[in-house]
């Protein structure tokens, strides 16, 4: 579909939603299973496009393993898949060209690729140095110790961690500088430990002992980052009583910080046997400040929340959003300013470290059109604003397939009207 028209005739948010399985957990488990060498059952595996793609590519890699002919591995627009396979292919016998979409070719991979080369991997840049596509000659790695800057993406650290038990000498990773999205690396470590890996995490280094992964059945929990858009909608609603099933209190996911964040907006989270229940009380809030260094995937929803209710918002630690599926900071500025809400950036040069929105009453013209920039989180972030106006238009709504395929159907189930726009 080129676009959809969304409206919500009332300000009521009631119902029960089975949130999708965590894509982040699912993709890590697929790599652990592939490295394990023994199949095991993964219950509630994500059906997101990125996870389906990774499954398919792992099958392609299995077929191309050990062959002299080059096998092309196309990760499309899946950043996690690109990063994870950069390290994974480095230890798989064979010749591989790892590539992706045009946007993927603009997303840096040099920190990870150079770290792999330091460990003995054979990796060449086929175009611009530091960026995909890559030519990888897989084989044994000799190194056992590296230093990496975790300040660009935690996925670089995770990619190294996942293969570390399979290296002959294990791996010591020295973390130099401020980490971003560290809860994702911690999630990786906890999953690795569940499958027998010996990992010790310190303040500035991670030590992984050589060994093997042990197979074992596991069930994937629901995705906390997917809950962000429902929290946002709850703020815009007048009456709220909605159940989000599958979320855990003792979650592996850092984005389980959402209840604490949205308590500031009057949203109460009650944990149940099935997941969580959201209700709302009226609460006056003049402004909001938060550092999203560890939680970048939920930043857009919170930015949109503040813009939608017209309060000042200051959002620090958002630099990693510039190298996602799109430059999410500039994309958010473009779309939020359609509400006549001023957005300011702070940082050095082109590198933005903070975003601020002014406390201005937003304007919601009927039929406002939002662009999604090929980014699933842009579409899902902007959709709840339909509760603030008669209707709005979302361009290229199918981008939600990347992480939350049932998003539009779930909105319909709680009373949103969604129609295909033929214009």
Bridge partners of 223, per DSSP, are none
Take residue 281 and report the two structure tokens written for it. Answer: 């009380």
Q: Give per-residue burial for 256-278: e unless 16+ CB within 10 Å, then b.
A: bbbbebbebbbbebeeeeebbbb
Pick the catalytic residue from 223, 297, 327, 375.
Answer: 297
User: What's the CA gap between 264 and 287, in Å, rounded?
Assistant: 10
Bridge partners of 240, per DSSP, are 13
Q: Give per-residue burial for 32-61: e unless 16+ CB within 10 Å, then b.
A: bbbbbeeeeebebbbebbbbbbbbebbeeb
- Which 3 state secondary structure label does DSSP give 250? coil
- Dihedral sign (CA 104, 404, 239, 296): negative
Bridge partners of 357, per DSSP, are 313, 343
415 close to 17: Cβ distance less than 8 angstroms: no
Estimate to the nearest angstrom the gap between the alpha carbon of 300 and the chain centroid. Answer: 11
User: What's the CA gap between 130 and 134, in Å, rounded?
Assistant: 9
State the CB neighbour count (10 A cutoff) for residue 187: 21
User: What's the CA gap between 150 and 418, in Å, rounded?
Assistant: 41
* 159 burial via Cβ count (<10 Å: 0-12, 13-18, 19+): buried
User: What's the CA gap between 72 and 66, in Å, rounded?
Assistant: 14
- Which 3 state secondary structure label does DSSP give 98? strand
User: What's the CA gap between 383 and 395, in Å, rounded?
Assistant: 11
Q: Report the C-alpha dihedral over residues 413, 338, 260, 245, rounded to 10 degrees.
A: 20
Phi, psi angle pair for 138, to nearest 5°: -75, 150
367 close to 407: Cβ distance less than 8 angstroms: no
Residue whose pair of structure tokens reads 């989000």 in the numeric block: 244
Q: Has 297 been annotated as catalytic?
A: yes
Active-site positions? 297
């Amino acid at each position: 579909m080129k676009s959809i028209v969304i409206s919500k005739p009332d300000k009521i948010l009631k119902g029960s939603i089975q949130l999708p399985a965590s894509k982040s957990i699912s993709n890590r488990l697929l790599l652990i299973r592939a490295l394990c060498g023994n199949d095991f059952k993964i219950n509630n595996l994500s059906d997101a496009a990125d996870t389906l793609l990774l499954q398919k590519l792992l099958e392609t890699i299995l077929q191309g393993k050990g062959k002299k002919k080059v096998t092309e591995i196309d990760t499309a627009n899946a950043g996690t898949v690109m990063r994870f396979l950069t390290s994974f292919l480095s230890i798989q016998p064979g010749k591989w060209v790892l590539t992706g979409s045009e946007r993927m070719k603009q997303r840096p991979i040099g920190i990870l690729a150079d770290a792999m080369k330091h460990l003995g991997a054979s990796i060449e840049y086929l175009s611009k140095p530091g960026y995909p596509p890559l030519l990888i000659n897989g084989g044994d790695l000799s190194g056992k110790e590296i230093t990496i800057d975790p300040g660009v993406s935690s996925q670089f650290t995770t990619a190294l961690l996942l293969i570390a038990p399979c290296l002959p000498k294990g791996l010591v990773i020295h973390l130099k500088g401020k980490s971003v999205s560290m809860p994702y690396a911690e999630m990786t470590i906890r999953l690795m430990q569940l499958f027998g890996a010996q990992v010790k995490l310190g303040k500035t280094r991670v030590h992984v002992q050589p060994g093997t992964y042990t197979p074992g059945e596991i069930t994937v929990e629901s995705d906390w980052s997917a809950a962000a858009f429902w929290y946002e909608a709850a703020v815009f609603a007048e009456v709220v009583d909605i159940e989000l099933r599958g979320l855990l209190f003792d979650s592996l996911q850092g984005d389980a910080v959402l209840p604490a964040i949205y308590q500031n907006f009057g949203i109460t989270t009650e944990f149940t046997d099935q997941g969580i229940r959201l209700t709302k009380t009226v609460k006056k809030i003049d402004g909001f400040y938060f550092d999203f260094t560890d939680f970048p995937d939920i930043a857009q929803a919170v930015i949109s929340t503040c813009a939608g209710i017209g309060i000042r918002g200051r959002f620090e630690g958002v630099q990693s959003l510039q190298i996602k599926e799109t430059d999410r900071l500039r994309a958010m500025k473009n779309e939020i300013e359609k509400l006549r809400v001023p957005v300011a950036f702070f940082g050095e040069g082109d590198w933005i470290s903070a975003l601020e929105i002014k406390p201005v009453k937003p304007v919601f013209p009927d039929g406002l059109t939002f662009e999604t920039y090929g980014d699933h989180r842009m579409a899902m972030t902007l959709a709840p604003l339909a509760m603030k106006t008669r209707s709005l238009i979302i361009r290229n709504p199918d981008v939600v397939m990347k992480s939350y395929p049932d998003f539009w159907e779930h909105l319909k189930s709680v009373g949103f009207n969604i129609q295909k726009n033929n214009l």
